């Protein structure tokens, strides 16, 4: 479906004296929201939501509204620089783009010649829509090592969905589910992945029932018909308990199970291992509440599960996702209107095809760091970060000599920040592309100035599974900043990949759109393109799995040596698994609560957004605070067996007194020393990245659940 409509904004332009308005799409978080960018005297004067947008419908969050403050920030990096002092010294010299890219190319080719292409690691952060170009560059160069957030964020949902039912099932909010189960996802704050909070809110206003699974009393939990306040890290046990109810009360979709499911009998046997009395003991949730939620979800048709990253950042990552997929499947909500739909993308070259994965040789694929240890991740070209740090620090299984991070700040966002810091200091050469000199960029040899979404042409939401692609239209140029795609296109020519790239990256956009028979210039005249809509496709074609069915029993996991059925594992550090340290670390620490103004480590220097929250906050129950003499809003110390940091105390009666909830990725750009306070409030100083604590198939790091103590800073 192609639309050409264009909003009539002439009156507003005339009334407020704007010179022009351009439709585009935001990328301040997971993106997709349509925008109207108003220009005056060659600068962005205002950004508003586009009411014609199929994604945001005219709504826009605080991050989108503040985009111009990011683009025009006085501390913005606007030209390439190279380090002229020791790592972390903060001494930089301006250089040209040619010198920067020539230097990076020279290093890459030298390391490839001496140590193999695998000695160079490419990396990118969460959702800057550069993954296809980065994988294309890496695969053509010959390195199998691309370090992403994919081991613990969204990647597991894709990986487990593909092996279970062929694609990622997306909640069909357009057709108004009668029941929504929000599991580890606070959509009205986070606006994650394919979703925006507005769509969920409209469904609730229309009368949809809401089940929320979350240790915290979030806005959604406060609105829920059933709130399941589980013990952190016990999601898969809870899901298996709900499946137990649905199966034994025979409220599953018998027709779907009999005709389209693989592995029903062994799956039922596994579910029988999780009776409600056992699940209640594990999760801290009363049996009747679990039963109520299971019945409500199974009998309210259609229904969807709004799942999020919280269930993936733990040892049960893949099994959490697989258990939730089972809930979607056996209740008959897969690929149903208002249920969980396997949307089709438009007829374009998808991320995998553009990423040139087929051009990486089998010999080089076999060298992927952690590929044998984490087979599910390796199957999707995803690696665990600790494998990279080990290759730098220990040269195991081989040395990594160079890293190139684009839109990524791993010092703030990866587990065991002290080890990350050691690796970034030790690697022989590192390049970074970002908006600012971040704590990670401070340790680089060359830093490249990246463009914001206002400064680039691109295909918005190219990587998502909701079926849309959206034109992003460049409206400004700030300094010498370039998009990630443009800089990679230029670098590719310098390392011998020219035949696979273009004179400029618009050629790459044309290449993506070529199967549709249109160019990017033609696409820019459209509002959006959507893939063909069809429901219950499995009735004609089955599922894109080895058996052609919805695999409750995963034949691929069995082939790779893993348990083919979902199970529950106790978190490596918990009151159950490590009771010997409870006296010193009596509280369960959860991390990663989202804030409206921040996107992981980004935006803490943007005035409007920092004003929303000037300091990092840790939520604690008032009774817990009283026990330790902690006053609200005072600085407190959070300590784990690995380190300690400081955040301000915020009281919440919506937390179990045994649980503490801290924010992640905090640094202090206003501190002008070279480290910008990277370890002052960074919760990843406390987290563990040991292999034993990671998901065995996906390699997900357990950054969400650990043990801690908390006390007043004056203690």
In this structure, the answer to whether residues 684 and 630 fall within a common structural domain is yes
Q: DSSP string spanning 552-576?
A: SS-HHHHHTTS-SS------SSSTT
Are 181 and 120 contained in the same domain? Answer: no
6 in a domain, yes or no?
no
pLDDT of residue 30: 84
Tokens of 600: 């992981």
Please indicate, yes or no, if residue 94 is contained in any of the structural domains: yes
pLDDT digits (tens, 9 = 90+) for 582-594: 999 999 999 999 8
For residue 571, give both structure tokens: 């978190």
Burial class (CB in 10 A: 0-12, 13-18, 19+), 115: middle
Q: Is residue 142 part of a domain?
A: yes
Does residue 621 share a domain with residue 477? no
pLDDT mean over 307-328: 96
Q: What are the residues whose beta carbons fall under 8 Å from the beta carbon of 208, sequence distance 6 or more? A: 176, 177, 178, 179, 180
pLDDT, average across residues 277-296 = 98
Which of 589, 595, 593, 601 lies closest to 413, judged by CA? 601
pLDDT in tens, 75-88: 999 999 999 999 98
**38 occurs within a structural domain:** no
* Among 530, 547, 562, residue at a domain's last position: 530
Burial call 491-503: b when 16+ CB within 10 Å, e when fewer: bbbbbebeebbee
Dihedral, 571, 576, 582, 586 alpha carbons, nearest 10: 70
Domain of 690, CATH number, reads 2.40.40.20
For residue 517, being part of any structural domain is answered with yes
Range of the domain at 681: 579-712
Give CA–CA dist 522/515, Å, rounded. Answer: 14
Residue that is written with structure tokens 């826009």 in the block = 60
Give the CATH number, domain containing residue 324. 3.40.228.10
Residue where a domain stops, chosen among 341, 358, 381: 341
DSSP labels, 576-639? TT-GGGTTT--EEEEE----TT-BTTB-TT-HHHHHH-SS-EEEE-HHHHHHTTPPTTSEEEEE
Q: How many domains does the chain have?
A: 3
CATH number reported for the structural domain that contains residue 509 in this entry: 3.40.50.740
Domain identity same for 309 and 357: no
Percentage of the chain with pLDDT > 70?
Answer: 98
**Do 143 and 185 reside in the same domain of the chain?**
no
The neighbouring-strand residues paired with 210 are: 180
323 phi/psi in degrees, rounded to 5: -70, -35
Instruction: Label residue 13 by pLDDT band (50, 70, 90).
Output: confident
What pLDDT digit, counting tens, does each position of 497-513 carry? 999 999 999 999 999 99
Residues 487 and 629 in one domain: no
Nearest to 213 by CA among 192, 191, 195, 187: 187
Note whether residue 57 is domain-resident: no
| Dist. CA 5–CA 416, nearest whole Å | 49
For residue 186, which phi and psi values (nearest 5 degrees)? -105, 75
Percent of the chain at pLDDT > 90 equals 93
Please say if the pLDDT value at position 542 is more than 70.
yes
Question: Cis ω on the peptide bond leading into residue 397 (within 30° of 0)?
Answer: yes
Under the banding of pLDDT at 50, 70 and 90, the label for residue 1 is: very low
| CA–CA separation, 185 and 220 (whole Å) | 9
Among the candidates 469, 496, 530, a domain finishes at 530
Phi-psi region of 635 (alpha: psi -120 to 50; beta: other; left: phi over 0): beta
Q: Is residue 672 part of a domain?
A: yes
pLDDT tens column, 642-667: 999 999 999 999 999 999 999 999 99
Alpha helices (H) in 224-316, listed in sequence order: 235-248, 254-260, 264-271, 276-283, 287-299
Instruction: Please name the helix (run of DSSP H) or strand (run of DSSP E) that holds residue 83, with its range, or none.
Output: strand 81-83
Distance CA 697, CA 669 (A): 37
Q: Give the total residue count for the chain.
A: 715
Return the pLDDT at 714.
Answer: 80
Q: Are residues 336 and 353 in the same domain?
A: no
pLDDT digits 0-9 by tens, 15-36: 778 999 999 999 998 888 999 9
Mean pLDDT computed over every residue of the chain? 95
- Please enumerate in sequence order all residues whose Cβ is within 8 A of that of 176, keeping only pairs 6 or more positions apart, or say none: 202, 203, 206, 208, 338
The answer to whether residue 465 scores a pLDDT higher than 80 is: yes
Residue 4 reports pLDDT greater than 50: no
The answer on pLDDT for 205 being more than 60 is yes
Which residue's entry shows tokens 């069909």? Answer: 172
* Over residues 194-221, mean pLDDT: 95
| Structure confidence by residue, pLDDT tens digits, 511-529 | 999 999 999 999 999 999 9
Q: How confident is the model at residue 2 (pLDDT cuts 50, 70, 90)?
A: very low
Residue 448 and residue 360 share a domain: yes
- Burial (Cβ within 10 Å: 0-12, 13-18, ≥19) of residue 683: buried
Examine the domain organization and report whether 352 and 314 are in the same domain.
no
Grade residue 3 by pLDDT with cuts at 50, 70 and 90. Answer: very low
DSSP 394-455: T--SS---EEEEES--HHHHSSSHHHHHHHHHHSSEEEEEESS--TTGGG-SEEEEB--GGG
Residue 45 within any structural domain of the chain: no
What distances in angstroms separate CA 353 from CA 532, 626, 670, one per listed residue?
19, 57, 42
- 414 and 526, same domain (yes or no): yes
User: Does 200 have pLDDT greater than 90?
Assistant: yes
Are residues 144 and 177 located together in one domain of the fold?
no
Q: Are residues 209 and 310 in the same domain?
A: yes
User: What pTM value is reported for the model?
Assistant: 0.96
pLDDT of residue 6: 43
pLDDT of residue 9: 66
User: DSSP alpha helices (H): ranges in 116-234?
Assistant: 131-141, 155-165, 187-190, 197-205, 219-223
Q: What pLDDT is attached to residue 332?
A: 98
pLDDT at 638: 98
């Amino acid at each position: 479906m192609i639309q050409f409509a264009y909003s009539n904004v002439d009156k507003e332009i005339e009334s407020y004296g704007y010179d022009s308005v351009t439709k585009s799409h935001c990328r301040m978080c997971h993106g997709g929201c349509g925008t109207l960018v108003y220009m005056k005297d060659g600068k962005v004067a205002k950004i508003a939501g586009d009411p014609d947008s199929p994604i945001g419908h005219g709504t826009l969050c605080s991050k989108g509204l503040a985009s111009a403050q990011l683009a025009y920030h006085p501390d913005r990096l606007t030209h390439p620089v190279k380090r002229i002092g020791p790592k972390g010294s903060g001494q930089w010299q301006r250089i040209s783009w040619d010198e920067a890219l020539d230097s990076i190319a020279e290093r890459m080719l030298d390391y490839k010649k001496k140590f193999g292409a695998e000695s160079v690691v490419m990396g990118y952060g969460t959702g800057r829509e550069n993954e296809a170009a980065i994988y294309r560059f890496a695969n053509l160069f010959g390195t199998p090592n691309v370090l992403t957030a994919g081991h613990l964020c969204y990647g597991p949902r894709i990986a487990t969905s593909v092996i279970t039912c062929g694609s990622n099932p997306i909640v069909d909010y357009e057709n108004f589910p009668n029941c929504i189960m929000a599991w580890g996802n606070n959509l009205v704050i986070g606006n994650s992945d394919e979703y925006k909070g507005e769509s969920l809110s409209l469904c609730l206003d229309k009368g949809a029932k809401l089940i929320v699974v979350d240790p915290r009393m979030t806005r959604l939990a406060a609105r829920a018909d059933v709130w399941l306040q589980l013990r952190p890290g016990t999601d898969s046990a809870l899901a298996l308990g709900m499946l137990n109810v649905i199966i034994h009360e025979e409220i599953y979709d018998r027709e779907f199970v009999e005709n389209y499911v693989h592995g029903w009998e062994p799956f039922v046997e596994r579910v029988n291992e999780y009776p409600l009395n056992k699940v209640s003991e594990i999760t801290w949730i009363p049996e009747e509440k679990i039963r109520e939620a299971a019945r409500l979800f199974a009998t309210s048709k259609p229904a969807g599960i709004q799942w999020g990253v919280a269930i993936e950042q733990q040892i049960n990552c893949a099994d959490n996702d697989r258990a939730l997929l089972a809930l979607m499947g056996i209740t008959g909500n897969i690929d149903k209107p208002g249920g969980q739909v396997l949307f089709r993308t438009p007829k374009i070259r998808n991320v995998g095809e553009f990423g040139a994965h087929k051009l990486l040789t089998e010999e080089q694929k076999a060298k992927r760091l952690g590929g044998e240890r984490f087979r599910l991740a390796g199957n999707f070209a995803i690696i665990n970060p600790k494998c990279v740090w080990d290759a730098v620090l220990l040269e195991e299984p081989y040395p990594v000599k160079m890293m190139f991070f684009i839109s990524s700040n791993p010092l703030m966002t990866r587990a065991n920040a002290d080890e990350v810091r050691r690796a970034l200091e030790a690697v022989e050469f590192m390049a970074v592309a970002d908006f600012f000199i971040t704590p990670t960029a401070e340790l680089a040899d060359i830093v490249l100035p990246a463009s914001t979404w206002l400064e680039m042409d691109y295909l918005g939401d190219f990587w998502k599974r909701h079926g849309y692609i959206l034109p992003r239209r460049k409206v400004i140029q700030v300094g010498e900043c370039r998009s990630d795609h443009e800089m990679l296109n230029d670098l590719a020519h310098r390392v011998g990949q020219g035949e696979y790239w273009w004179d400029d990256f618009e050629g790459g956009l044309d290449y993506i759109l070529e199967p549709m028979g249109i160019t990017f210039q033609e696409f820019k005249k459209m509002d959006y393109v959507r893939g063909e809509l069809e429901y219950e496709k499995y009735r004609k074609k089955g599922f894109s799995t080895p058996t052609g069915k919805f695999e409750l029993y995963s034949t691929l996991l069995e082939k790779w040596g893993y348990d083919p059925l979902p199970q529950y594992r106790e978190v490596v550090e918990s009151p159950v698994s490590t009771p010997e340290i409870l006296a010193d670390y009596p509280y369960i620490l959860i991390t990663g609560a989202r804030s409206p103004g921040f996107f992981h480590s980004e935006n803490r220097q943007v005035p409007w957004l920092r004003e929303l929250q000037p300091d990092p906050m840790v939520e604690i129950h008032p009774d817990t605070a009283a026990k330790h003499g902690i006053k609200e809003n005072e600085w407190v110390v959070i300590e784990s067996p690995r380190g300690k940091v400081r955040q301000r105390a915020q009281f919440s009666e919506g937390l179990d007194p045994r649980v503490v909830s801290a924010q992640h990725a905090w640094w202090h750009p206003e501190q002008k020393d070279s480290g910008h306070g990277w370890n002052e409030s960074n919760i990843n100083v406390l987290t563990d990245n040991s292999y034993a604590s990671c998901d065995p198939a996906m390699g997900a790091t357990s950054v969400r659940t650990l043990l801690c103590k908390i006390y007043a800073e004056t203690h």
